[in-house]
Each structure stands twice: as C-alpha cells, then as structure tokens.
Amino acid sequence: MTDTIVSSATKEVVIGFERRFVMIGERINPTGRKSLAAEMTAGDYSRVVAEALAQVEAGAQMLDINAGIPLADEPRILAECIKLVQETVDVPLSIDSSIVEALEAGLAAYKGKPLVNSVTGEEERLERVLPLIKKYGAAVIAISNDETGISEDPDLRYAVARKIVERASDYGIKREDVVVDPLVMPVGAINDAGARLMYLLRRLQGELKVNTSCGASNFSFGLPNRRGLAAAFLPMMIGAGLTSAIMNPLHAEDIGAILGANVVMGHDANCGAWIRKYREPAPEGAAAGGRREGRRRAKT
C-alpha cells in the first residue's frame, strides 16, 4: 500500500490506493481568465479567496494554486496567494507553476507539506525541481513526458514515470512522495484514449506502486455534454487505479460520480459520505412528531 501524505498547518490529507479519491480544486488559475489575471496582477485576491471557499465547501480536499500570468511577477503573486489561501481554508495545497523560481517562492511561503505541480522527465527540469522537493520535504506530481514530448504509447509514458521515480529516489525522495500524472488525452481526438489510460493506470499502481493524478477535464475537451462524459470517465479511471485529480469541484455531476465510485470501491465506510451528501432531510416537525407518537403507543 502506498500512501502519499500532504498537509496544511492543521490538516492532513492522504492519497492512497485504499483511500477515498482526493479531489484537488482547479479554479485558482488565471489561465484563460483575463479578469482574474488582471486582478491577481494588481494584488486583488478577493476572487481567489472566494474560489477557495467555494471549492472547499463543494467537497475539494485540496486546492491547486496557479499564478501563471505572462509578464507578471509570478513568484511574488504565487507566494501571496498561498499565504492568503492558507489563512482562509485549512486544506493542503498543490503549488502549481512551470517556473522554478515561483515554485521555490511558494514552497518558502507554505506551512505544512504541499504537493508540487510539477516535474517532468526532462533532465533540466529534474535537476532543478527535485532538489527543491527534497529541501522542503514536499511531495511532487511527476508528469510522464520528457524531451521527446508526449507519447501516445502508454508503455513509453510508463517508462518516463519510472525514470522520474528512480531519479527522485537518487535525491532521497520516497516513492510515496511521487504522484504520477499519466497524461489524459482528449478522447475526441484519440478514440481509445480512455482504454490506453486505464491500461497505464493499472501498470502504475500494480508495477510502479505510485499514486496518480491528472487534469480530469482534458478527456472531454471539445465534446458536447462534458459533464455526462466526466461522470463516466472518473469512476472508470478510479476503478483502474486513479487516486486523485485536479478538477472543478463545483460540478455536481462530477462530485456524484466520485462519491459513488468511493462507495463501489469500498472506500466509503458504511457509505457515510454518500449518506451525508444525499440523505433527504426529515420533514419539518417530523422528529418531534415521531417522539410524541412513540410516547402515545407506549401508554396503550
């Protein structure tokens, strides 16, 4: 059993094969959102706070924090967002940047053990990011592509993942602290993308014994009724070994699919989370009425 433990200053989350699926909220990300990018650049983080609160309220166990804004001071913005979000919610965070200096600024600001998003199999990236992971005692998402790009062959993507896990070990980073992103391909462009991904997830869990994550929305990109497709995609990938995903927790269909998958997999003890989410409240006055009726029957 492989458990990846991440934490905030006060709360611990465990990603694992025998654990409930971990939803990592994706919405603190200015990519493609001009107004949010402008606000963050100007130091206005009111929407960042609102997004953090809404995602945790919806059920996200972690949040991904991205400050990738062209020509902006990304290290400063990322560090400021991390500090503010940690003051607002208690869930662990994923520090998300392609800029190593921004990752280091975020790590320095973070309280707890974060997940770093991400490292690839490219030599330069490995040599720059892995020492930071070791220095700050973080966990890291390992994206299974390298200098050759993203392969459609799942066996080649597996080989890249194995290379990253082995290189991480050379730096003293435990296997449990490497979460592999097997790379979700859009099924609208690659018809058997789902089947290839399930095959790869089974190898990653069974042979490499690592936890996994992905950008869940990539699968349905460009297709109609994306929520319906996500409701099929997520449970099937969970069954194949996916243990977490960066996703939008504000979609009720996705949440229902994940909670249902937790029940089916036996990872929701006594169906407790499912019942808490979907149990219908008792009609007003029903509890008191039931007690009175019970007393009347007792007297007869």
pLDDT for 7-26, tens place per residue?
A: 999 999 999 999 999 999 99
Cα 137 to its chain centre, rounded Å, is 19
* 51, 27 Cβ separation under 8 angstroms: yes
- Three-state secondary-structure class, residue 218: helix
pLDDT at res. 298: 47
Distance, C-alpha 163 to centroid of its chain: 22
Neighbours of 248 (CB within 10 A): 18
For position 281, what pLDDT does the model report?
A: 84
Task: Give the whole-angstrom CA distance, residue 77 versus residue 36.
Answer: 12
Instruction: Mark 64-95 as b/e (b = at least 16 C-beta within 10 Å).
Output: bbbbbbeebebbebbbbbbebbbebbebbbbb
Cα-based distances in Å from 279 to 43, 276, 293: 42, 6, 23
CA distance linking residue 247 with residue 197, whole number of Å: 17
List alpha helices for 137-244, DSSP H: 154-170, 193-203, 226-240
Structure-token match 């449970």, residue found: 235
Instruction: For residue 155, count CB atoms less than 10 angstroms from its CB and return exposed for 0-12, middle for 13-18, buried for 19 or more.
Output: exposed
Strands 12-16 and 22-28: unpaired
Spatial separation of the C-alpha atoms in residues 68 and 204, rounded to whole Å? 29
Collect the ranges in the chain with pLDDT lower than 50: 290, 293-295, 298-300
Q: Which pLDDT belongs to residue 294?
A: 47
- 254 and 227 in contact (C-beta within 8 Å)? yes
For residue range 233-246, list pLDDT tens digits in order.
999 999 999 999 99
pLDDT at 286: 61
Per the listing, tokens 């606000």 go with: 39
CATH of the domain at 108: 3.20.20.20
Strands (E) in the chain, as ranges, are: 3-7, 12-16, 22-28, 62-66, 93-96, 115-119, 139-143, 178-181, 211-212, 244-247
How many domains are there within the chain? 1
**Domain assignment of residue 234, given as a range:** 3-299
- The neighbouring-strand residues paired with 178 are 140
C-beta atoms surrounding 283 within 10 Å: 8
Write down the pLDDT at residue 287.
53
| The pLDDT of residue 1 | 80
